[in-house]
Structures are given as C-alpha cells and as structure tokens.
Amino acid sequence: MKKTFLFFFISILSASTLYADLAGQQGVFDDAQILDGYTKEYSDEPKEAIVGRINDDAINFYQVTAAIRVFKQKYSKTTVGREKLVIEQDLTRRINRTNSPFVEVEIMHTLCLLDRYKYFDAMVPALILKLDHYNLTINEIAETALNDIIATGKNSSRDARIIFNTLRKVLFLSRNTLKNITTPDQRLERKLKILRWSIKILGSEELKRLPKEVLHLL
C-alpha cells in the first residue's frame, strides 16, 4: 500500500501528458461544463453501471471522472463491507493508471469518503497540491473536495496537523514570492483558508512554525 501511494504521489507532480493531448484535440472547451453534462447523463444509472464505467479503459477521462463523481455523490456512503474493499481497489488501480488530474481529484475525494482514516494522510496533501494546478477547473474541484472532507470530519487535531504540515512545506517553497504579495490571488487564498482552519484547531502557537513571509497575509 505504501509503495502504491508513493508511486501515486510522485506521478501527480509531473505534467499530465494525456490530459494535454486530449485538451488539444478538444480545442476550446469548458471542462466544468463537459463534466457536468456527463454527470447529469449518468446520474440515474444503477451502481453496477457506474462502477463499470469507472473500470472502462475505452472511455475518455471526462466520462471516467463523471462516473466517479456520481458514485461519490450517490453511493459512497452506502457502500460497505466486501463491496467497499472492491471499489477501493478499483479506484486505487484507476488512479495509478491515469494521467488525468480530473480523475485523480475525484478519486482522492471519494477514497477519503470511503475510509477517512486510511486515506486522509495520503490523499489530502495530494489534493492541496492540486490547488496550484494550472487548470482553473482542477483548482475549483480540489477546493470543493477539501472543503467537503474537512466539513464531514470532526475537526480532529490529526487532520489539522496533516493539513498544516503540508501547507507549511508548500509555503516555505514559495516564501520568496510571498514576501512581495499584498493581496492573495485565488489560488493562494484557497490555501490560506484551510491553513486558518488548521491553526484554529491546533492553536495560534503554530504561527511560529510558518515562514514569516506569510504571516502578514493571515
């Protein structure tokens, strides 16, 4: 399992070649609109059909993403026991085979809903990295996923610590840029929002562990 997560975590840091190729073929398009269209189309399908689409290598990444989203919204809370283990395996296999950030984000979110304790410490840091993705739709989906994961939790110090430590590393890497910023852009504000949440849980003493260049933005 650790090797699987390590492979996955490294892969999301690289460029999504397949996504870029398909985007070029599509031309001018609206990612969110396409995903919403497929999601609506699949929304009335039974669980078996949705899982079939998740495992179908013949359909495009928009369709796979929409199928995962429908499963997440309709079936993730009622999938238990052996069935849950099977879908976890399906999703883990899919995320290790895809080059699409859309598929990755939806799977990360879904796995956290299926088993928060098992997947939080691997998937949430990866979702935080997606907040800096060049595609604005990916940023928005990642933010929605993170907000939902936080909202469905119990404000535990474990969760807050994982989020704080991840953002601390990200912000230290950006410290030279941060010192020249007076008004955060949308990407940075998304990170600051969940950073504030983690500090509220952990306590204000954590401010001492942040790069000084970010303090004026908080």
Q: What is the mean pLDDT of the chain?
A: 89
Which structure tokens are listed for 122?
């691997």
Give the pLDDT score at 218.
Answer: 84
pLDDT at 23: 46
- Domain for residue 184, yes or no? no
- For 111, residues 6+ apart whose C-beta sits below 8 A from its C-beta are 88, 91, 92, 118, 119, 123
Judge whether 103 lies within some domain: yes
pTM: 0.85
Residue type, 62: Y
Question: What DSSP string describes 6-64?
Answer: HHHHHHTTS--HHHHHHHHHH-S--HHHHHHHHHHHHTTS-HHHHHHHHT-TTS-HHHH
**Where in the sequence is the domain holding 27, given as residue range(s)?**
2-117
The pLDDT averaged over each successive group of 10 residues in the chain (218 residues) is 48 45 50 96 96 96 98 95 96 96 98 96 97 94 97 95 97 89 92 96 95 90
**What letter represents residue 38's amino acid?**
Y
Q: Is residue 178 part of a domain?
A: no
Classify residue 157: in a domain, yes or no: no
pLDDT of residue 131: 96
Whether residue 160 is contained in a domain is answered as no
Residue-level pLDDT at 14 = 44
pLDDT of residue 1: 52
Q: How many domains does the chain have?
A: 1
Residue 149 lies in a domain: no
